[in-house]
């Protein structure tokens, strides 16, 4: 009798559906249009005609295969009624609207219950939307037997022991591959990018990761006082809020972990995260002044955040006289032009876990920090300043981002620190 055949373990992953050019396995355009209607009907988009028009326009052009028309000037003319020769250097209507659409999409998909919906993404630097099928939680499926286990000439207990050892061997091989692959890429793979090297220590951990973002307030959802509120009053409590820039950063980081097949969970408030939670595996902290764990865990590092009477600043323990990396919260938005952030990747001695901290003084800094660690174009700037084998140690980077009329620009590296 033939031996039973084992099916291969299955890893759930996010699959791209379309990027302007259709393939046989892509989602039906009707499904994409239905999802657009669902997104536009949500409170996040419903009251913004400008953002709704832009999103619907780029999706329709992509589904029609007319992605060559998705350029800044063409969109300005077709969607916003600009003249064909308008100056895109002084009129940022398309860039500003696209940035707002990205933030609103991130906010939409971070809400509970959206996991099973087809995802629409508008990545930074592009006006061509990407569509992704619903994402299942990452997990390893147990091998399934396709034929009966019973064999007349094999005692049941002996067969069970053989099968158990086979399962253990398969599981051990998978674990070894999962742990060593990122490290082997760094040690032997000439094709490992700066982004690969930055994330390798984090991804090498066999434990699932945790993604924790900050927020206002520490209200207890189960308290008697909250239960006495109306639904509307409860929804407007500070701990129920999430800044759109934090949502974008969380979405980008979640996308990177999904693409890396790294199991993870999202914790919706730093105030509800315990020290034991942080000890359970590698973790990412999003947010600076609004994330108490960021403030605690960076306090002993070279670069950290310090509160000031009217704002906050990034302080440098090796150069305490430097007080220029500061934000005054009383500055009128029309005059505010720069935010600051710290990116840290450290082996935290308190939790004994690898931590990545993506944190700005303001929301613009957090958004720039998230872009810095997730988009491949930025981390090579860090590698140029790094010593040999920097990927094996700890890293801190101070960033700045220019802010124009409430919109942040790309991250700018101001200072770095590497240590073992």
User: pLDDT of 329-384, one tens digit each?
Assistant: 999 988 999 999 999 999 988 888 999 999 999 999 999 999 999 988 899 999 99
End-to-end CA distance of the chain: 57
- For the chain, what is the mean pLDDT? 79
Say how far apart CA 79 and CA 91 lie, in whole Å: 14
Q: Whats the size of the chain, residue-wise?
A: 420
Instruction: Encode pLDDT of 213-257 as tens digits.
Output: 876 555 455 556 667 778 777 666 666 567 777 888 888 899 899
Residues 93-110 pLDDT 10s:
888 888 888 888 887 887
Contact of 254 with 121, CB cutoff 8 Å: no
| Strand order across the beta sheet in which 326-328 lies | 303-308, 311-316, 326-328
Q: Which position has the higher pLDDT, 2 or 68?
A: 68
**Confidence band, pLDDT 50/70/90 cuts, at residue 165:** low
DSSP string, 2-26: PPPPBPPP-B----EEESSS--TTS
What residues contact 403, with CB distance under 8 A and at least 6 apart?
336, 337, 338, 339, 364, 409
Question: 317 pLDDT band (50/70/90 cuts)?
Answer: very high
pLDDT at 400: 95
pLDDT for 47 equals 81
Q: Of 5-9, 218-222, 260-264, 323-327, which one has max mean pLDDT?
A: 323-327
The reported pLDDT for the residue numbered 282 is: 93
Q: What is the pLDDT of residues 17-28, one digit of tens each?
A: 444 444 434 568
Residue tagged 């379309």 (tokens): 18
- pLDDT mean over 178-207: 70
Instruction: Give the Cα separation of 342 and 411 in Å (integer).
Output: 11
| Helical axes 363-374 vs 244-259, angle rounded to 10° | 10
> Residues of the chain with pLDDT > 90: what percent?
40
Give the pLDDT mean for 165-179.
53
Beta pairing, strands 353-360 & 407-408: unpaired
Residue-level pLDDT at 23: 40
Q: Among all chains, which residue has been given the structure tokens 């939670």?
A: 277
Model pLDDT, residue 188: 40
Among 219, 154, 207, residue whose Cα is nearest residue 179: 207
Q: What is the pLDDT of residue 206?
A: 87
CB 357 within 8 A of CB 372: no
Task: Tell me the two tokens of residue 197.
Answer: 């090297």
Q: Cβ(129)–Cβ(59) under 8 Å?
A: yes
* Strand-by-strand arrangement of the 16-18 sheet: 16-18, 130-132, 119-121
Check the CA dihedral 347-348-352-358 and report its sign.
negative
Query: Beta 412-419 vs 407-408: how paired, if at all?
Result: unpaired
In this structure, the number of other CB atoms found within 10 A of the CB of residue 9 comes to 14
Residues facing 357 on adjacent strands: 285, 344
The pLDDT score that the predictor gives to residue 225 is 65
Question: What whole-number distance in Å separates Cα of residue 248 and Cα of residue 398?
Answer: 20
**Cα-to-chain-centroid distance, residue 300:** 25
- CA dist 50 and 224 (Å) reads 41
| CA pair distance 403, 88, nearest whole angstrom | 18
In the numeric block, the tokens 């105030």 are attached to 271
């Amino acid at each position: 009798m033939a031996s039973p055949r084992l099916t291969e373990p299955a890893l759930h992953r996010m699959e791209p559906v379309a990027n302007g050019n259709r393939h046989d396995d892509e989602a039906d355009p009707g499904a994409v249009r239905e999802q657009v209607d669902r997104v536009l009907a949500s409170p996040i988009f419903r009251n913004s005609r400008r953002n709704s028009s832009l999103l619907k326009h780029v999706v329709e052009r992509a589904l029609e295969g007319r992605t060559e028309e998705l350029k800044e000037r063409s969109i300005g003319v077709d969607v916003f009624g600009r003249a064909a020769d308008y100056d895109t250097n002084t009129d940022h209507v398309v860039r500003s609207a696209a940035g707002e659409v990205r933030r609103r999409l991130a906010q939409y998909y971070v809400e509970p219950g959206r996991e099973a919906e087809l995802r629409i993404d508008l990545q930074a630097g592009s006006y061509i939307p990407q569509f992704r099928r619903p994402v299942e939680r990452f997990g390893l499926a147990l091998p399934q037997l396709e034929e009966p286990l019973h064999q007349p000439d094999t005692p049941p207990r002996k067969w069970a022991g053989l099968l158990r050892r086979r399962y253990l061997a398969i599981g051990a091989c998978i674990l070894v591959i999962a742990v060593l692959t990122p490290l082997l890429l760094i040690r032997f793979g000439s094709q490992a990018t700066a982004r690969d090297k930055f994330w390798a220590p984090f991804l090498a951990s066999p434990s699932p990761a945790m993604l924790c973002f900050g927020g206002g307030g520490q209200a207890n959802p189960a308290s008697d006082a909250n239960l006495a509120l109306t639904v509307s009053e409860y929804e407007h409590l500070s701990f129920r809020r999430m800044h759109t820039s934090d949502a974008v950063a969380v979405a980008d980081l979640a996308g990177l972990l999904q693409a890396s097949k790294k199991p993870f969970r999202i914790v919706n408030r730093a105030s509800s995260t315990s020290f034991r939670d942080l000890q359970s595996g590698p973790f990412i902290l999003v947010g600076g002044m609004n994330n108490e764990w960021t403030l605690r865990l960076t306090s002993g590092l070279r670069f950290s955040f310090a509160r000031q009477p009217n704002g906050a600043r990034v302080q440098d323990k090796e150069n305490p006289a430097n007080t220029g990396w500061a934000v005054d919260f009383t500055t009128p938005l029309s005059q505010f032009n720069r935010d600051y952030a710290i990116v840290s990747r450290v082996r935290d001695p308190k939790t004994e876990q690898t931590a990545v901290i993506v944190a700005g003084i303001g929301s613009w800094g957090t958004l720039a920090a998230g872009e810095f660690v997730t988009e491949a174009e930025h981390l090579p700037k860090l590698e140029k300043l790094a010593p040999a084998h920097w990927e094996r140690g700890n890293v801190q980077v101070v960033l700045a981002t220019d802010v124009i009329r409430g919109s942040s620009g790309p991250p700018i590296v101001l200072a770095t620190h590497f240590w073992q």
